[in-house]
Copies of this chain bind each other. A is one copy, B any other.
């Protein structure tokens, strides 16, 4: 099977050239002083991106490792936890919480919407026993966003700890760990950082460390243990096991790319790409999946697939015929997604995605105003000031 010409997926996304170059660097022993330096430097760069002074922990596995580790570390039997559910990942967190013994509270909305902060506030006020709030910032499978700037401080003010999945927002959508008083944030590089999957980027507040440290059920001597990393590496300078040297090379490069561009520039770029794409979708006569523009996330544009088709047909045709890899809904509904992440949140990539999806719909019998859509997207791109990088 030939490689794709364009990967416009919801992540892993197209990586920056410097990331790929870094991954080709010779592998070093993990105790080589050059690698030890690189690991420490990368932690500091990740902290800069998270806008935090909390500890940074780079767990050596995809972001679900960090999410599972954090949930296992924080939850004790019977702990009342409020979980916000607006999509597949929020739902999944609820299953874990229950498994790990939490007393589970949920605020759930349809998967094309996000939970209103006012509802969260009301719920927390009515349930002062809640100790932990779990929320997905950007629900990648359905392209929606939670208003974490409101929710974070709201929880903190009530003494509620927060565990946030910001996997697909970090670097492309505003995310302010310290300003928003987030206790544990879990992200990844294969989305808006244009880096490799394989490493969890996470931050942990002092309060969260205390909670985990006092939890007898928190993983210890395990691949899932945050405490092992804290005690052995953060405090002792020894790795609990061999880190993924190659991914670390890629992670540092993706951080460098972002920091050299600047967080603001990157966020503006992701926003522009998403606006152009949404304008194109509407002008084509298609429907966005999210209920309204207000709840859309800039990292991915979710498009409703007309009932006569299935997302999997659309994806397959798009890839086979036009060499463009897009994503489906991963269980969130009958939708396809065009990613705007890292290098693909740039210049004409939204046009490529729209052309591929529009023409695919047409090929499969749906009436689409392709030309109008592409023109509308280009209009948005042309009126905005140029913010592109590569």
**Chain A residues within 8 Å of B, Cβ to Cβ:** 1-7, 9-15, 17, 19-21, 23-34, 37, 60-65, 68-69, 95-96, 99, 190, 196-198, 221-224, 241-247, 250, 319-325, 327-328, 343, 346-349, 351-352, 355-356, 358-359, 362-363, 370-375, 378, 381-382, 386, 388-390
Cross-chain pairs A/B with CB under 8 angstroms, 10 sampled: A3-B26, A7-B26, A20-B27, A21-B21, A27-B197, A61-B61, A62-B241, A64-B241, A359-B382, A362-B382
Q: Check B60 against A198 for contact (C-beta < 8 Å).
A: yes
Chain B residues whose C-beta falls within 8 Å of the C-beta of A320 in the assembled complex: 386
Choose among B14, B63, B362 the residue that contacts A26 (Cβ–Cβ < 8 A): B14
Given A27-B190, A29-B13, A355-B351, are A221 and B62 neighbors across the interface (CB < 8 Å)? no
A224 to B389, CA, bound (A): 38
Chain B residues whose C-beta falls within 8 Å of the C-beta of A1 in the assembled complex: 33-34, 37
Given A371-B375, A378-B370, are A32 and B4 neighbors across the interface (CB < 8 Å)? yes
Given A34-B2, A323-B348, A371-B374, are A20 and B12 neighbors across the interface (CB < 8 Å)? no
Q: Check A346 against B5 for contact (C-beta < 8 Å).
A: yes
Q: A190-B245, A244-B244 are in contact. List 17 more A-B contacts (CB 8 A).
A: A5-B343, A7-B26, A9-B32, A10-B29, A12-B242, A21-B24, A28-B325, A62-B241, A63-B242, A69-B223, A224-B224, A246-B246, A321-B386, A358-B378, A370-B374, A371-B373, A374-B374
- What's the minimum C-beta distance from A31 to chain B, rounded to whole angstroms? 8
- What's the minimum C-beta distance from A101 to chain B, rounded to whole angstroms? 14
Chain B residues whose C-beta falls within 8 Å of the C-beta of A246 in the assembled complex: 23, 196-198, 246-247, 250
Q: Check A327 against B198 for contact (C-beta < 8 Å).
A: no
- What's the minimum C-beta distance from A351 to chain B, rounded to whole angstroms? 5
Q: Check B242 against A197 for contact (C-beta < 8 Å).
A: yes
Q: Check B21 against A388 for contact (C-beta < 8 Å).
A: no
- Those 5 A-B pairs whose CB atoms lie nearest each other, nearest first: A371-B371, A198-B244, A9-B29, A24-B24, A323-B347
Q: Check A221 against B99 for contact (C-beta < 8 Å).
A: yes
Q: Check B382 against A375 for contact (C-beta < 8 Å).
A: no
- What's the minimum C-beta distance from A246 to chain B, rounded to whole angstroms? 4
Chain B residues whose C-beta falls within 8 Å of the C-beta of A346 in the assembled complex: 5, 323
Choose among B5, B25, B372 the residue that contacts A371 (Cβ–Cβ < 8 A): B372
Chain B residues whose C-beta falls within 8 Å of the C-beta of A223 in the assembled complex: 61, 64-65, 68-69, 223-224
Chain B residues whose C-beta falls within 8 Å of the C-beta of A15 in the assembled complex: 26-27
Q: Check B375 against A347 for contact (C-beta < 8 Å).
A: no
